[in-house]
Amino acid sequence: MVRRVIYTLILFILMAAVPVEAQPNTLGLSDDDYMLLRNASRSGDSLFSFVFVNQLSVEGLDSFAFKADLSGSGKVDLASPALDLIINGTTTLGTTQITPVNTEVRWIDDTLYLNLGNGWRALKPASQFLTQSIGRYIGLSADKFAMKTWDLLGIEGLGEVLPILTKFNPEVFLTANRLADFVGGQSKFAHFRFTIDAQKLMQTDSFVDLVMAFASVQGNDLVVLDYDKLAAFVRANSEMFKGTTLCFDELVNLSDRRVASIGLRLEMAVDPSVGGYSDGPFKVSWLLSLGGITSGNNVSMSAVDFLTFIRTPDGAKTVTAFEFPAQAVLQAPSDGVTQYVFFETIGENEPYWQLFEAKTGDSVTITVRGLGLEFDSSAKLLSADGVTLAENDDHETNAFGLGYPDPQIADFKITKDGQYRAEVHEINGEAGSFVLTVTIKR
């Protein structure tokens, strides 16, 4: 049930950048600073472009490690709607799986185009793909006709959730400051920062209302709790997030009063032991910065040749599903802890398996986390010749971040050098997505 609360917290964080003009007070800013921020132009133009930096890491969690260092540029045409996003950088899964990223994504005429560096693929209708993804990963139903025009109100349940945001009293958990002005090139920028204290946020009645609303529209396992029990559960678990903050930064050009850059920085420090879980403290860090925002048809970005419109890529091959490059050969485990992580999607009645090497005396843990609300899996550890050595359906531990149906085979001792296989099945033969982690201690 903790995972559902975390999902709600992250969703709130993603929606937390409520326009300043919607707030009932100046949030502690001076009247002049508040009016500068409130009246800053946030580009009402339908066509705009930007450059971005996205850094995300999960550190210290025994059964999952991840790091992404990405940057790129994007262009959006809200009138069409259309999107062009160029992404470069690297991702690191587990302890050894470093993957270069050289990707471009376009959404044009309800078609989703993807180029992973090996040519364009086209999937349509894109609105149906988006609708299915929202259902699979968020657990909400969406109207595909609304998704075609990016109308988020077409997501079932948001009508019940969004009004709750207006009931939050930001003075309880949010502080606002104007920092020292920033000078870039020939321009000077006012620097505003809003900081959200996650623990204080989670202790409010409005956050409990938000969790209850999401539980109702998702139909997740929190619906079994009445309001008082849910409130007690949420507030008790808020103690694990002490020190977690979200900062929202905005730079306003003082010459033309236009917003030039926005950024989010999340520092999520989690100590599951405070809530009685066996896991030690871990940290999630996320930085998202959108800079160089330019609007209108005359778009020109440094080192990026943007067209005045987003065009259909030439030679795109139509597919029914995107196929991602095969996983590179895994590095052999070394002394200490080696962790392999795999993000996977399977079809109906389609098992998944992954080979890895292990030696006598190694301790192997296999963990499967279902993505979304419905994925109910089982895990097996097999020898190279197909003999089942261990299996699990529901982990039945107090491990933090594992859902009730998530399986885990913990600390299996290897008695023979060789190749082994981790296998994942969905109990009911349903399609779905999951994260498989294989941890080897030597």
Q: How much is the average pLDDT of 70-74? A: 94
Q: How much is the average pLDDT of 395-405? A: 81
Whether the per-residue pLDDT at 363 is higher than 90: the answer is yes
Whether the per-residue pLDDT at 297 is higher than 50: the answer is no
Q: What angle do CA 326, 327, 333 make, to 5 degrees?
A: 160
- Look over the chain and give the mean of its residue pLDDT values, rounded to a whole number: 85
Domain segments of the chain: what residues?
A: 2-318, 337-441
CA distances from 60 to 180, 269, 281, 284, 366 (A): 34, 10, 7, 9, 17
Q: How much is the average pLDDT of 323-346? A: 87
What is the band of 213 on the pLDDT scale with cuts at 50, 70, 90? Answer: confident
pLDDT score, position 300: 35
pLDDT score, position 123: 96
pLDDT digits (tens, 9 = 90+) for 378-398: 999 999 888 999 999 988 888
pLDDT score, position 72: 95
pLDDT digits (tens, 9 = 90+) for 121-179: 999 999 999 998 888 777 778 899 999 999 988 888 777 777 887 788 888 888 889 99
Q: How much is the average pLDDT of 246-254? A: 89
pLDDT digits (tens, 9 = 90+) for 48-57: 888 899 999 9
pLDDT score, position 6: 59
**Among residues of the chain, what percentage have pLDDT more than 70?**
89
pLDDT score, position 10: 59
Tokens 């079809």 -> residue: 347
Instruction: Specify the CATH class of 337-441 in words.
Output: mainly beta
Whether the per-residue pLDDT at 16 is higher than 70: the answer is no
| 3-state DSSP of the chain | CHHHHHHHHHHHHHCCCCCHHHCCCCCCCCHHHHHHHHHCECCCCCEEEEEEEEEEEEECCCCCCEEEEEEEEEEEECCCCEEEEEEEEEEEECCCEEEEEEEEEEEECCEEEEECCCCEEEECCHHHHHHHHHHHHCCCCECHHHHHCCCHHHECCHHHHHHHHCCCCHHHCEEEEEEEEEEECCEEEEEEEEEEEHHHHHCCHHHHHHHHHHHHHHCCHHHHCCHHHHHHHHHHHHHHHCCCEEEEEEEEECCCCEEEEEEEEEEEEECHHHHCCCCCCEEEEEEEEEEEEEECCCCCECCECCCCCCCCCCCCEECCCCCCCCCCCCCCCCCCEEEEEEEEEECCCCCEEEEEEECCCCEEEEEEEEECCCCCEEEEEEECCCCEEEEECCCCCCCCCCCCCCCEEEEEECCCCEEEEEEEEECCCCCEEEEEEEEEEC
CA dist., res. 384 & res. 357, Å (int): 10
Query: Which of 88-102, 235-249, 279-293 tops mean pLDDT?
Result: 88-102
